[in-house]
Amino acid sequence: MPNNMKLYQLTVIFSVLFSLMGFSYNVWRMEITENNSNVRTACFEMLLELAEVQQLVYAAHYDNNLEQGNPRVGWVKVGLIADLSSLTNQSVAKESVELTQVWSTQWHSMHDDEQAASQIVEQVDNVREEIKRLLASLD
């Protein structure tokens, strides 16, 4: 009977440890999954906003449409992109800050200066590429 008792105690201890390890792994995996979900959502929203900024630049420069190419709308979109980038990684955030800087120096010229419009669109593409890299790297 003492051997049975030791075996029973070892089985109980092993079961408790195994349960704790399983629970810990499950909590860790759910946390990673939630984080990845938040990053994906932010990235998809950023891609939508980036497309709208690019469309805004094209409307302002190529169509001379100040209604669809309104710089105030562009400021809001660029600001939202920068805000959402805080939910991503450092490289996307860096490119988003760079987009804000390019926008702030080029928005007033984008209507009639091809180079200004091209610089904004090029930076939009840089942010987009970093987002694609980040999305590809997620678990």
Contact 99, 122 (CB under 8 A): no
Could you tell me if 98 and 17 are in contact, meaning their C-beta atoms sit under 8 angstroms apart? no
Q: What is the pLDDT of residues 51-85, one digit of tens each?
A: 999 999 999 999 999 899 999 999 999 999 999 99
Segment 12-31 mean pLDDT: 86
Question: 10 Å Cβ neighbour count for 126?
Answer: 17
Model's pTM, two decimal places?
Answer: 0.83
Task: Output Rg (C-alpha) for the chain, integer angstroms.
Answer: 25
| Whether the predicted pLDDT of 1 surpasses 70 | no
